[in-house]
Structures are given as structure tokens and as C-alpha cells.
Amino acid sequence: MAKKKRQQPRPSTPPLSLSLLLKLFREIKRPLSRAEVVRELKLKKRDKPAVKEMLAALVEQGKLIRMRRGYGLAESMNCVTGQLEIQRGGFGFVIPEDSRRKDIFINQRDINEAWHGDKVVAVVIKENKGQRNNEGRIIRVLERGRKTLPVKLYKKMRNGDWLCRPTDPRLAFGIMAELEDQTLELKQGDIALCEPGERIDPTMWEGRITSYLGPESDISVQEALVKSNHTIRLRFPSGSISQAEALPNEPAEKDIRGRKDLTSKQFITIDGATAKDFDDAILVEKMPRGYRLWVAIADVSHYVPEGSPLDKEALERGNSYYFPQSVEPMFPERLSNGLCSLNPNVKRLVMVARMDTDDKGVTRNTKVFPAVIESHARLTYGQVKLAILDKEEDTRAKIAHILPMLELAEELARKINTLRSRRGSLDFDLPEPEILFDVDGETTDIRPKKRHFGHQLIEEFMIAANEAVAHFLIQKDLPCLFRIHPPADEERLKTMFRLLAQTDKSITMPKEMTPKAIQALVASQKGTDKEYIVNRMLLRSMKQAKYSPENEGHFGLASEEYCHFTSPIRRYADLVVHRLVKSALSLDDTSQPTSSIPGQKRLFNIAEQISKRERAAMNAEREILKRVMVLFMRDKVGGTFGGVISHITDYGFYVELREVMAEGMVRLSTMDDDYYTYWAHREMLVGERTGQAFKLGQTVEVILEDVSLERLELNFKLKSVTGSAKNYKELI
């Protein structure tokens, strides 16, 4: 009897997945229909529905493009997935998800149905070499950046619907909105929240009003609409609230066990007068050959395990959000203002960076470890100024028990500041606005925040701790979530040097645009009439700092190793760094609980998320400041103000006012004494007939002609030129 031939086992088909489909498209190198995908992967009939769903998912993600008879790989069709950012001029830029790719300029006519903040697919229609952006056209909206839009109500229609318009000036369309709740009492001019529906025509959409915010003149309403514009989360999910409520009011004995007891050490906190969350405490001791600087940071990671509901919500938020009258914290108040806040005279768990320096303030040795402390005093920046800088006797008497330590801290901080300045760290002298309110919540003034060395003292110690911890992790050969700041725009810096050299022959172009070369320029212009121009142009040349697991250094601080370690209550990046530090300690000490070390891909994803939310926080802060400014200036139309030219364009110039921290524009269309030409190479506007010139930093008098909350604009008319150089010949 013949032996039966043994059948060879069929090679197993890899499990069907999105990555398998993408791999197939990359290997075949041409568009494929659904039937071709099934055939190429040797799938069975029962797999067809799953393939259909996966192809649709890849289209939704922007990885594949739906074509007439199949699907094409987006990256092979010169398509880019990213977020659309629309500018006030109506054009926009797509910021690619792949950070290695250049931003894509989108002409207003090519934006199609996309809105500011949407996740989109853009096809590149023109590639530009060098510094210039590529140009493209949006072909698909993958995901709306905002599901709900704040709108202003303009007119009630006969059928009860409302004609309204988004409060964001970058959304240039109207909405015909019905009421979700017919009992809502709305008035013309009020602000409401609306869920947009289908597009009716190029300038009109359908929608549904879901809730009422209030009158647009109310600052709290303006804050609410800004939070909605930037998708800032207002409520904590029940899971994170339950986790927070289950935590103790004070650290338990089991939490303290194994930590260094530093409760007898004279730690203090220094913060703003209205601060409620204190995440850093400092202590300085004199040593035989220098100083010992202790920086204790709230150990939030002890109470927030990775992957827990509190952790997931904190990552989603990325950071806390600060507004003139409210805060949206990263953690519930139970943690941020209670258990994790370094309040005075109570035990708190901390992570400590202890730095031993030489007599000049150079850090020679760093130790990082968990500890328990008890803050001995809660000081404000104002108290530090009165006691240390002004030597005010009453204040000094009130804090006599910590005064010697505080004076030692000032001594060390000044030495560290000198070291930082010598290496080229940049400090911009540009005022930040402070909004003052009366008891009714009405704005009474917008003025520059007063800064002094009391603020600088804490900043110097926090920078030192952040650098020390980054160095600690690098030495351990462990990952770190770095705070990186790319070099400034070289072309803009060269333009600045050329502009200044035209009127000051002592200013020469440096061979290399290092922080030290830029700092030398800033120092040389301090106290001169060009100081304002230098600070403004430098600010415009700086790039956005962000987070990354790859260390690229921090240009602004002239720091080679820098991370964020000092604010885990309000920044998720610091929480990640604390966990990485604990991983390093657990590798050194078997008595420490072992912490998992996240992979590079995980850190990249975290860095991308928190950098995105940080940009949202910054943009929200700018928008609310602008809205408060416009509301404050509403009753001042017709008034005359002195100001400084802060920015020049081919259609006019912006003026920063001196009397109040507000900025508006003088348009060329309001200047009928001459025809003006924009000289970009000199940052000037020059009259063709008179030769009258307008340049950065020049002082002018203006009349406030118009205030528009819809466009977030102040429009001025020029009254007189008060700057010394009025004719372009004086500037050559």
C-alpha cells in the first residue's frame, strides 16, 4: 500500500490590522480597490466587511485617500495630514502631524469647508525650497477641531430660529440656528453655544443652540467663550473625581515611610498674592565651600498612578489654564489646592533636587530623592520685595525667623543669574499685562505687571533645578521629556542686525547667531531709544518652545540640558519627568518600588499632546486679554492717546498705547496727507511726496476711532508724530 504524501502546512496569514493594510499599499506602490486588497492578502469572503471598515478608518485618519475606483496612499499622493490654523487675513497654514515636514500655506480660496483648528488632509500643489512654506489645497476635513461654537445672536427669525455668527473672527460665516430648548430666553447681542450642522451655502450653515452664556459685555461670558474656542475642558469626569475624593486629606504614615524627613528644614514657598496651589518650596544653606540649594517639588506622581482616571484626564488637559477671573486646573482642587499643595505647617510629600554649588554658584553635585517637608512660611513676591529689596523694617520683623535664609537665597540667586547671563541666556524686557477689576468684576485698568528680583529669585532656582534633573537623567542613560527651544529664525535676526547697523555703525553682524551674540546686542541697546525695537524684533524671531524626548537644547536659556520638573500640579510634562526620576532611583535602590520606563514612541505621543495643549493655553490667554482690552476701550472712542509703533505692515502700523496696555492699528487708508510705501528692508513706511517716515519704536499720538469686539480690533487715526526722526533722510 502506497504511503500517503504528507501535506505541507499553509503559511499562516498575519492577523488583519490597519498596519497590515498600510504595509500592503506601500509594497504594491499603486492605488488599490477593495477587491484587490482582499485578493492580494489572500483573504476569505467573510473578511470583506472587516476590510471595508479598516479602509474607511484609514481614510478617516488621513492615511489613505478615497479615489474614484479605490484607495491611494496619502503620502504617495503628496498629501499631508495636519491641523489647519487660519490667520486674520483669511489664509491659513496646515501644521503637519509629521513634525519633519514644512508647514503648508493655504490660500483663502483653497480652504474649502475647513475651519480653524480642524484636522485636515491637504494636497501639496507647489513645493518651495529653502525657508518658504510649501503651498497646498485642503481636500478633506478629517475631524472638526470644535464640535460646539460660541456665537453672537444677531436676529430672531419668524419661525423662532436665530441668525447668529461665530465669535471667532477667523470663522467668517453665519449660522441659522434652531433652539434645542424652547424655554431658553435669548436676547439680540447675547452669546450662546451652538452645534453647527450642514452647510447651506458658502456663507451660511445650519445649527442648533444648546445653551445660553450671557451678555457679551460680561467678562465671565468672554472667558467661557474663549474656553469653548480652545476646547478647554470645564468638568472632571466622574472617575477622576471619585479617585480624587478617595485620597486622604493628609499624607498617611505608609506614604511617608522610606522618605527623607526634612520637616525640620526651613523650607518656604514664594508665590503671587492670589495663588492657591503651591508646588515648589526652596531652602538655601551656606556651606564651607559654597551653597546648598534645596528645591522641593510636590510629589503629585505618588497620588496619580500612570493610566489612572486622574492621569488620563491630566494628559487630556496637558496643563492648567489661567484666566483673569478663573482657572481651569489640570487636577481637581482636592489635589491642586489641598493634598499636593505645599501649604504652610502641614506635612507634604515632595521630590527634592539638592544642588551643592561652589562659591560662584556653579552646581558641582546634585542629588534627587523623595522626601517629606513642612513649609515654614508662605511668602508673596510683594513681601520679598519689601523685606529684601526695600529693607522695610515692619515686614522684616514679621518674617524675622526666616530672614537670614531669605537673604542667603537672594545672594545665591544673583550669582546664578550672573552665570546664566554670561553663557548667553536671553531675558526680554517686554511688559506683561495685568488686569485690575473692581468689586463688581468690571475692568478698572490694564497695566504692566511689576517685576522685581523677588520673582527672579524663584525663577533662577527653578531653572537650576530643571537643568540639574535633566542632567541627572542623561547621566543615568534614561529617557527624559526635554523642554526644547529651537534656534531663532536666522533671516529675521540678520534683518534686525542690518536694520540697526544702518543707523549705528558700531553694530556688526555676528559670524554665528548664538544666544551670546544676541544677548550682547540686547545689553548694548539697554536704556537707548533702540531698546524697544530690539526686544520687539527679537521676540518675532523666536520660535515656539515645545516638549520632546530628543534633546535639542534650549536656545533662549542657552541651556544644553533642560526639562520641566518644578510644576507637576499644573503641567503634565513635569509629572512625566517625576516618574522618570523615580524609575532612575528604583534602578539604583532595590528598596524603591520599580517604576516602568515609557518607550520612545510613548514619550513622543505625550510630547505632541502636551505641546498642542500648551499652544491652546497660550492662544486662549492672548485671546481673553484682547477681548478684555477691547471691552475696556469701548467707552474711550474719540480719546487721544500716546503710543509707540510696535509693528509695521504694507497696509499700516500697530501702536502700543502708553496710558493703558492696549494695541491697535493706524491704517494707511486713514492717512490722506501722502501716498505711503512699505520699505520692508528698513521696516519703514515712507511718504512719496513728503518723505515722512514711520519706523519701529517711534512715538506717536493717536485718536481712537473704532472698537470692534467682533473683529477684536482697535482702530486709530494718527494725530501727530512725536518721535524725533520724522523724515526718511534722517534715518539714512
* Per-residue model confidence as pLDDT tens digits over 693-706: 998 889 999 999 99
Distance CA 704, CA 715 (A): 6
Both 429 and 303 in a single domain?
A: yes
The string of DSSP letters for 170-205 reads: T---EEEEEESSTT----TTEEEEEEEEEEEETTEE
| Cα dihedral: 278, 280, 286, 290 (round 10) | -160
Range ranked top by mean pLDDT from 516-520, 640-644, 719-723: 640-644
The string of DSSP letters for 130-176 reads: TTSPEEEEEEEEEE-S-SSEEEEEEEE-TTS-EEEEESSTT---EEE
Which whole number is the average pLDDT over 151-170?
A: 94
Residue where a domain stops, chosen among 143, 164, 185: 143
With H, G, I as helix, E, B as strand and everything else as coil, classify residue 303.
coil
pLDDT at 723 over 70: no
User: Can you give the pLDDT at residue 589?
Assistant: 61
| Contact status, residue 636 vs residue 714, Cβ threshold 8 Å | no
* Per-residue model confidence as pLDDT tens digits over 526-549: 888 788 888 888 988 999 999 999
Beta-strand relationship, 204-215 and 174-179 = parallel
Both 202 and 261 in a single domain?
A: no
Convert 656-695 to b/e letters by CB count within 10 Å (16 or more is b).
bbeebbbbbbbebeebeeeebebbeebbbbbbeeeebbbb
* Per-residue model confidence as pLDDT tens digits over 446-464: 998 888 898 999 999 999 9
Q: Is residue 226 part of a domain?
A: no
What separation in angstroms does the CA of 142 have from each of 57, 101, 117, 454? 11, 19, 11, 48
Q: Is residue 590 part of a domain?
A: yes
* Per-residue model confidence as pLDDT tens digits over 417-434: 999 999 999 887 677 889
pLDDT bracket for residue 378 (50, 70, 90): very high
Both 519 and 620 in a single domain?
A: no
- 715: Cβ–Cβ under 8 A, 6 or more apart, which residues? 664, 665, 666, 667, 670, 704, 705, 706, 707, 708
pLDDT at 730 over 70: no
Sign of CA dihedral 217, 220, 225, 230: positive
User: Can you give the pLDDT at residue 48?
Assistant: 87
Q: Which domain holds residue 65?
A: 18-74
What separation in angstroms does the CA of 448 have from each of 403, 638, 653, 661, 671? 29, 24, 22, 7, 30
pLDDT at 369 over 50: yes
**Identity at 135, one-letter amino acid code:** E
Which whole number is the average pLDDT over 266-275?
A: 93
Distance CA 292, CA 468 (A): 13
The string of DSSP letters for 516-529 reads: HHHHHHHHHHTTST
Convert 563-578 to b/e letters by CB count within 10 Å (16 or more is b).
bbbbbbbbbbbbbbbb
User: Can you give the pLDDT at residue 101?
Assistant: 81
Per DSSP, what are the bridge partners of residue 704? 716
Both 259 and 383 in a single domain?
A: yes
pLDDT bracket for residue 214 (50, 70, 90): very high
Tell which phi-psi region holds residue 628, choosing left (phi > 0), alpha (psi between -120 and 50) or beta: alpha
Per DSSP, what are the bridge partners of residue 209? 179, 194
Q: Which of 97, 79, 90, 85 is nearest to 134 (CA)?
A: 79
Q: Is residue 160 part of a domain?
A: yes
User: Can you give the pLDDT at residue 368?
Assistant: 97
Domain count, the chain: 6
User: Can you give the pLDDT at residue 305?
Assistant: 95
Mean residue pLDDT across the chain = 90
CB atoms within 10 A of CB 206: 15
Q: Specify the DSSP element, H or E, that contains 378.
A: strand 378-380
Both 326 and 431 in a single domain?
A: yes
Both 471 and 552 in a single domain?
A: yes
pLDDT at 5 over 70: no
| Cα dihedral: 364, 480, 371, 357 (round 10) | 10
With H, G, I as helix, E, B as strand and everything else as coil, classify residue 555.
coil
Residue 708, phi then psi, degrees to nearest 5: -130, 110
For residue 655, give the C-alpha cell. Answer: 501702536
CATH of the domain at 155: 2.40.50.140
CATH of the domain at 64: 1.10.10
* Per-residue model confidence as pLDDT tens digits over 185-201: 899 999 999 999 999 98
User: Can you give the pLDDT at residue 1?
Assistant: 46
User: Can you give the pLDDT at residue 10?
Assistant: 46
% of the chain with per-residue pLDDT over 90: 64
Alpha helices in 590-650 (DSSP H): 600-633
Both 138 and 163 in a single domain?
A: no
Both 449 and 592 in a single domain?
A: yes
User: Can you give the pLDDT at residue 548?
Assistant: 96
Both 460 and 374 in a single domain?
A: yes
CB atoms within 10 A of CB 439: 5
What separation in angstroms does the CA of 570 have from each of 318, 394, 546? 8, 34, 16
Both 455 and 426 in a single domain?
A: yes
Q: What is the DSSP letter of 32?
A: B
For residue 722, give the C-alpha cell. Answer: 512725536
Q: Is residue 196 part of a domain?
A: yes
Distance CA 126, CA 78 (A): 10
User: Can you give the pLDDT at residue 531?
Assistant: 84
pLDDT bracket for residue 594 (50, 70, 90): low
- 710: Cβ–Cβ under 8 A, 6 or more apart, which residues? 152, 165, 167, 169
The counts of H helices and E strands in the chain are: 17, 33
User: Can you give the pLDDT at residue 595?
Assistant: 59
Q: Is residue 222 part of a domain?
A: no
Residue where a domain stops, chosen among 503, 520, 541: 541
What separation in angstroms does the CA of 367 have from each of 294, 354, 533, 535, 584? 10, 5, 43, 37, 12
Both 607 and 656 in a single domain?
A: no
User: Can you give the pLDDT at residue 444?
Assistant: 93
Both 415 and 503 in a single domain?
A: no
Q: Is residue 507 part of a domain?
A: yes
From the number of C-beta atoms within 10 Å of its C-beta (0-12, 13-18, 19+), residue 183 rates as exposed
From the number of C-beta atoms within 10 Å of its C-beta (0-12, 13-18, 19+), residue 452 rates as middle
Q: Is residue 158 part of a domain?
A: yes
pLDDT bracket for residue 26 (50, 70, 90): confident
pLDDT at 115 over 70: yes
pLDDT at 307 over 70: yes
Q: What is the DSSP letter of 375?
A: B
Angle, helices 453-475/572-588, rounded to nearest 10 degrees: 40
Q: Is residue 324 part of a domain?
A: yes
Find cell 523623595 and name the residue. 370
Find cell 500643489 and name the residue. 125
Residue where a domain stops, chosen among 502, 518, 541: 541
The region of weakest confidence among 59-68, 177-186, 348-357, 528-537 is 59-68
